[in-house]
Every structure is written in C-alpha cells, then in structure tokens.
Amino acid sequence: MGLAKLLVKLFGVALAVLIMRYVVSYLRSSLKGLPGPFLAKFSDVWRFWNHYTWKHIETQKKLHEQYGDVVQLGPKTVSLSDPNLLKTIYTTRGTFIKICALGSPFIAQELDPLMNDTDASKGKTCDIADWISFLITLDFLGDMTFSKRFGFMEQAQDINGQINTAERVMHYFSVVGQIPMLDKWLGKNLWCPIKFADFAIPAGFCIQRFMKRVQNLEQFKDKKDFMNGFLEAKKEFPDLVSDNTVIGYMIINILGGVDTTAIVMKAIFYWILKNPSIKAKLVDELRTARLPFPANYTSAEQLPYLDACIKDGLRFHPVVGHILERVVPSTGLRLSYGTTLPPGTIVGINPWVLSRNKNVYGEDAEDFIPERWFRKENEDKEAYEVRFKMMKDADMAFGNGNRACLGRLLALVELHKVTATIFSKYKIELEDPE
C-alpha cells in the first residue's frame, strides 16, 4: 500500500509539473492573443487528435470561417488563409524553410487491350475508383520508373494489399506528423508492440529492379525510363550519386505518386458524374473533337472544357488536407492587419481552406463549377484576366514555391489523358446518383 501511495504521489507531482510547464509556456507565448481553439494554445495534442479522427479538413475550414485569415492550431503553429501571403511563405528563394516531417506509352499502348476487354462487362456495375487506383498508382509509376508494372491492371486487384497499405501509411504520416517526435517511439521503434504499415513491398520491388538492371545494362540500354536517367546521373556525377542514391530516387519516385493523382482523378470523375449538365458538356466536347483512342495529351490539353473540369477538380478536391508547414525566418512575418509573427513560428496554408476562399473564387467557391475558369457574360476582358490570374496564383494543388511537386506535369498528363479517354469512349453514370 505504501508503494502504491508513493507512486500515486509521484504521478500527481509529475502531472502538476507538466501542467505548470504548459501554463508558463502559454503565458510567455507571443501568439496567445491569436484566435483559435483554447486547448491548441497549450499543446499539439489537440491537432494530433483532430487528424487522428479524420476531422482536420472540416475543422480548419470552420475555424477560418469563424476567425478569418489567422488561426492558431498549436503552441507554435499558425494556419493562414490570406492568398497575398502565398508568395511570401512559399517563396522560391526558400527563406521560409520546410519543417522536418515526415505522355506515357504505358497508357497509350499497353493498356489498349485491357480497356477493350471492358465490352464484355457492358451494362454491369464497376467500381471505377478501384480501377483508377490500379492504373494511376504503382502500375503507372512502376512503368515510368523502371519499365515494369506491378500487375494491378492485369490481375484487377490490390496485390498484397499495397494500395490499402499506402492509404494507412499516409494516414500515419498525417497524424504523427503533428508531433513528429512520436515517430521515434512508434514507427521507428523496433520494440513498439504496434506494427504500423510501411512501404516495404514497393521498396523491395525497387531494389529487385535495380539489381536486375545493373546486371543487364545492355538489355535495358534503350529503355526511356527514370532508372536509366538515374544511372546516367550516377555515371556523370559519381561523387554525388551512388547505388544507394539511385535506389532512393526510385523509391521516392514510387512513393511520391502513390494514391495522390488517383485521389484527384476519383474526385473529378465523381463530380462530373454527379452533375449531368457538366458531364453532357464534357462528353459533347470530347466526341466533337474526335480524339484518338486512347486520347493523347497533345490533343486533350487543347480542349477548354476538359481543362476547366480538371482545373476545378484540382481546386475542389486537393490531395493535401493540412497546412503546408514552413518556419518563419529571423525577419518575422508581418500579417495584413499589422501583427508580426515571431521567428520560429510554424506557419502554413491549407489548400482545402484557400480553395474555398470566396474573395478569390467567388460566392460559389463551395461548388464544383468548371465554368468559373471562363469569361462570364458581360465580363470585360481586363476584369476576366485579373480574376483568372488571382485564381491561378492561389492554386496550391501541387504545393507552391521551391518545394512544389516535381511530378506536376506528369500528373496533368495522366489527368487529361485518362479523363478524356474514359468519357469519350464509354457511357458511364453513377449507380446511385443520390
């Protein structure tokens, strides 16, 4: 009993010290006057839990609707939604450093027979979301990286649960990324009783492909893929690029595109199908254009309504649902209403919040409307150009600044080609329009 009482007392003292530490930190903070959830001012546990429960997107949207452009999400973390700060925070000069955290022949030729086989399933229900995942994730990236698909399309299934694993890993990154030090105690802790999902299978596949390539260089010399490009870089810069570096490049190539483009494409398909008038306009444009099958990017990118659907899909359903964090430099960050955030403050803009900014996208910002990218009736040319530039400058679909996504152009090729091919070739509709 004596030991138990002692342990209880020690726990109480430790808890009191911890609470006192949070209180003192709060009282000394220069951010305490900023609006935001009360608990978020003391600890990052608030936003950790918010991400864990999958509520962070809606929560941050509501907080900005309630408080405006500036919301405190943690003791040292501030979410911003002022589009005028984009070029300051995400400057190409990199003065706001990133916080430590966690035209393809493949589509045009090799998938042709597989897509033609769909005639046998005419009139049947198809979960197109699964097929988009099979096509856009590891199969496409594998073909582009080392001319070898994983086999999702041929087998029509999530091989070894890799896509499901990718989704769970991304959720882990999203949650633990709110308190990065937890990763040492969880995902990177060999003694942790909970085994978290990882990318061991695709990483192993990358290593296998590398070993086969270096052992048969002559056989693969004409392959126009990323691996040959990486090997060429190793040959040209041996002091900078080693075998391990090349393998690392390939793993990043694969993991960087897993589930990202597929998420946006699923959303674009859904919202087109959800709005019959939009679908009718798109199909009419595609069939009038008489695109080849499968569609090529050169032709597809010239179609204005298709391009508008993709633009508004990227705006309406961004891949990233949390703030893209940067650290305020020694000069501080002066906000529009005069307050200056001190050096070391973690700031960022959430693409889901900015993409709903009515000052940028209009009162209908909460709706999927491709027509917003066109000149309105009775809108003069100069006003349209100003409005278009404002929307384009606020685009965060692929990040912004010197850390913007390097796969942007490749993703746009995929989105244009696949969307054009499917909607021009097939008559599809939602099984349940409601």
Binding site listing for heme: 405
Q: State the Cα–Cα distance between residues 254 and 251, nearest whole angstrom.
A: 5
Angle value at C-alpha 351, between 30 and 127, nearest 5 degrees = 145
Q: Which two tokens stand for residue 147?
A: 């001319």
Query: Is residue 78 classed as helix, strand or coil in its secondary structure?
Result: strand
Q: Map tokens 């590398």 to a residue.
A: 210
Query: Is residue 275 classed as helix, strand or coil in its secondary structure?
Result: coil
Q: Amino acid identity of 16?
A: A
Q: Which two tokens stand for residue 136?
A: 């856009």
Q: Which residues sit opposite 74 in a β-bridge? A: 77
User: Which string of DSSP letters, residue by residue, matches 361-404?
Assistant: H-TTTTS--GGGGSPPTT--HHHHHHHHHHHHHT--BTB-GGG-
Check if the beta carbon of residue 245 is closer than 8 Å to that of residue 234: yes
Check if the beta carbon of residue 56 is closer than 8 Å to that of residue 49: no
Sign of CA dihedral 348, 401, 374, 422: negative
Query: Is residue 98 classed as helix, strand or coil in its secondary structure?
Result: strand
Summarize the annotated binding site as residue ranges.
405
Check if the beta carbon of residue 393 is closer than 8 Å to that of residue 86: yes
Q: State the Cα–Cα distance between residues 169 and 262, nearest whole angstrom.
A: 16
Helix (H) or strand (E) holding 326: strand 326-327
Phi/psi region, residue 362 (left: phi>0; alpha: psi -120 to 50; beta: rest), is: left
Q: In this structure, are strands 346-349 and 77-80 parallel, antiparallel, or unpaired?
A: parallel
Does residue 329 have a cis bond before it (omega within 30 degrees)?
no
